[in-house]
Amino acid sequence: MPTTLPSLRLRPSPDPTPASAPRPSGSRTAPAGALAGRLLATGAALALLVPAAATHAQPQAWPSGPIRLMVPFAPGSNNDTVGRLLGNSLQSSLGVPVVVENRPGAGGNLGAEIAARANPDGQMLLLGNSSHAISVTLYDKLGYDLLRDFAPVVLLGSAPYFLTVHPSLPAKTLKEVIALARARPEQLTIGSAGAGTYLWVELFQSAARIKATHVVYKGTPQVAAAVLSGEVSMGVVTTLNAIAQVKTGKLRGIAMTSERRSPLLAEVPTVIESGWPVLEAATWYGLLAPAAVPREVIARLNAESLRALRQPELRERLDNMDIRAAGSTPEQFATFLRAEVQRWGKVVKDSGARPQ
């Protein structure tokens, strides 16, 4: 029997108190295979009733040629790697080339706009991530509407953020970091990069009622380097940016923003274990298509993507990047997207954050 993949829990808007209740699990719906079976059965019944109309209504065969997978971030990034892993699997199962197209710029919005305007025939897809949900509120004007212009296909996985500090900082736990920051308002510095870690820092400062100098860098590797050199007191990075330095004691791991500990740094507690569940967050990755793509194509893409996520080789690659494979129905992903837009929209408004 096929393995049932866990779906990410749906996140409500954060409560600015450390006693925030755990977020509810996403609803379960029929597996993609069962859904596809019902669609086929319904189509067959209609064909028997009105054969002439059904013959004329048949959609064009899909896929009709190479599929373009828009990855609106730079080659070599985690987004790019996830896109290429998925693309290789879809290429094998669908029997057509899947070409990854990198269009970085404007926090991932340049490529997203191109994908939103593509012909809705299923030949252009978008690898979206959490920055797209944040951009809905962070940017005053976007050339697309995330919730209106895209059809969610599947939630692929997520990777936690990682709060790390320089070893010279007299704090070894999240509680101690917060106490130190409160005792030294605006004296500590914290680095971030990209919409996700940037907004997490704003959420952290608001929820913990602290004020540190926020320094924004081009990428999380630069943040890790800045903490390592002592340029900033602490930084928010990904696990891979700092794992070697934490293992050798050159950096100190404070907390993972995930629900459970990372197997790559099992000694580092989570924000939930540290008493701050409101700070749980992650960069997520998901597949989207232009909104008017036929439902049969969405169902097929969902089924093939779930099949890809069950492949041991692909899961091992994701595990090595500290990306936790997810899997969802299109409907579950749509609910998750709306919750993410609401959650981060509140953080943007409360903090007054602007594009960096």
| 181 vs 241, more confident | 181
| 38 vs 99, more confident | 99
The C-alpha atoms of residue 197 and residue 271 are separated, in whole angstroms, by 15
The pLDDT of residue 87 is above 80: yes
Judge if the upstream peptide bond of residue 63 is cis by omega within 30 degrees of 0.
yes
The pLDDT of residue 29 is above 90: no
| CB neighbourhood size of 2 (10 A) | 10
pLDDT number for residue 60: 67
Lowest mean pLDDT among 31-35, 146-150, 220-224, 266-270: 31-35
Long-range CB contacts (< 8 A, 24+ apart) of 22-25? 22/272, 22/277, 23/280
The pLDDT of residue 230 is above 70: yes
The pLDDT of residue 28 is above 80: no
**pTM of the prediction?**
0.80
The C-alpha atoms of residue 336 and residue 130 are separated, in whole angstroms, by 11
Region 332-356: what's the mean pLDDT?
94
The pLDDT of residue 272 is above 50: yes
Which residue in 125, 160, 188, 136 sits closest to 269, CA to CA?
160
pLDDT number for residue 255: 98
Q: What percent of the chain has pLDDT over 70?
A: 83
Region 46-72: what's the mean pLDDT?
64
pLDDT number for residue 49: 33
Per-residue pLDDT tens digits for 94-130 = 999 999 999 999 989 999 999 999 999 999 999 999 9
Q: Of 33-37, 104-108, 237-241, 267-271, which has the strongest mean pLDDT?
A: 267-271
The pLDDT of residue 55 is above 90: no
User: Could you give the domains of the chain?
Assistant: 65-159+283-351 (3.40.190.150), 162-279 (3.40.190.10)
pLDDT number for residue 76: 87
pLDDT number for residue 235: 97
The pLDDT of residue 24 is above 70: no
Computed over every residue of the chain, the mean pLDDT equals 86
Q: What percent of the chain has pLDDT over 90?
A: 77
pLDDT number for residue 33: 39
| Residue 219: band (very low, low, confident or very high) from pLDDT cuts 50, 70, 90 | confident
